[in-house]
Amino acid sequence: MIMQGLFAIFFLCFVAFSQAKPIFNVLKYGASGDGHTDDSHAFEKAWRDVCKAKKGNPTLLVPKGRTFMLQPMVFQGPCKSSSINFKIRGIISAPKELKGWRWRSSERGAWIQFMYIDGFVVKGGGALNGQGAPWWDCFQKFRCQRPRAVSFHACEHLKLRRVKLVNSPGGHISLNGCNGSIVSNIHLVAPDESPNTDGLGISGSSHVKVRNSIMEVGDDCITINGGSNMNISGIFCGPGHGISIGSLGKGGTYGAVEEIHVRNCTFTRTSNGARIKTWEGGFGYVRKIIFEDIILKDVQYPVLINQYYTAFAATGGNKKAIKISDITYRNFRGTSYFEEAIKLMCDNVVGCTNLVLDNIKITSSNPKMKTRSSCSNAHGKSSASNIPQVSCLK
């Protein structure tokens, strides 16, 4: 009996050991983690081993209590295992000064790029610091081309969670061609005055879920530039420019976004709330969009459609425009900074069709002012109880 018990314990330990996830700690590959030494080479070596590992959901570990300075890097698949983990427990930092950045030709788009990694899981607990301040200054003075902080390209079924990213040089995170992805509990931070520091940009992706995240940035908290079947919920946005569909169609290009559901989101002192923006001369469509259960706190333009996104100037006369249809705004509550709380500016060629505004109550943050709506070539229906009334709909 004793021998049988010992054998059972040994067997269970063997199974547990054989199923354990292999951990590839960057410290064991020579990373210093002192915040000054370039640790890029150590991360490259660790990634090669992670990507080659065939079993056990291999994990690249960035340990806590250390700061790892990285030059622009590309982590590329495909990898051997069906699931790869990238666990950020410490801090990953970009170089602090522009002269410290060393680029290779393939890395100009972003500081850190992840490409062609299916079943990729990125977990946080630590943080990434894009050291964006000198980039913002260079952009404002010399219009410098700036990198995004982190990009994911063709990473099917990506899971990104509990990641904090601060002070990106440009946009914070982009997803392109990342179908079936889940983004949750991320925290993106940059000063309100930081130029064009978008939070999460999504393009060319379908069946994406974004939920329970905080985005405090200098541009759109979330922008959708192409894709379908997305659910966005539990987002706290502010400062920033709201959640935007687009911009689409710039330079006469094609753009398509459909079946997007944005719900249970809060906008605090943002320049916009729920926004759709398309350029004149583009072609394609924006359709089947739902914004619902939205809380607004002192938002400049809570509901905004701009079908001729050219600095709010309605030039008109183009033969082409992105078609906007089947857009629903439901259960909006809160306050508007400007009098014009609902602004639906649609092109005079195709206009906007089947807009629905239901159960809207947007009052002014100034107790002496009432909110109002304005429309141009907008077709649809509005509930009689809405505040403000949207009687300008055709």
Q: What amino acid positions are annotated as catalytic residues? A: 219, 241
How far is residue 43's CA from residue 84's CA, in Å, rounded to a whole number?
15
Contacts 24+ apart (CB under 8 A), 311-317: 312/345, 314/345, 314/348, 314/376, 315/280, 316/280, 316/347, 316/348, 316/349, 317/348, 317/349
Give, for 8, the enclosing helix (H) or strand (E): helix 2-19
Residue 153 to residues 9, 94, 339: CA-CA distances in angstroms?
45, 20, 41
CA 112/CA 306 separation, integer angstroms: 33
User: Which secondary structure element, helix H or strand E, spans residue 133, and what is its range?
Assistant: helix 133-142
Tokens of 136: 């913002």
Burial of 277 per CB tally in 10 Å (0-12, 13-18, 19+):
buried
Nearest to 394 by CA among 383, 381, 384: 381
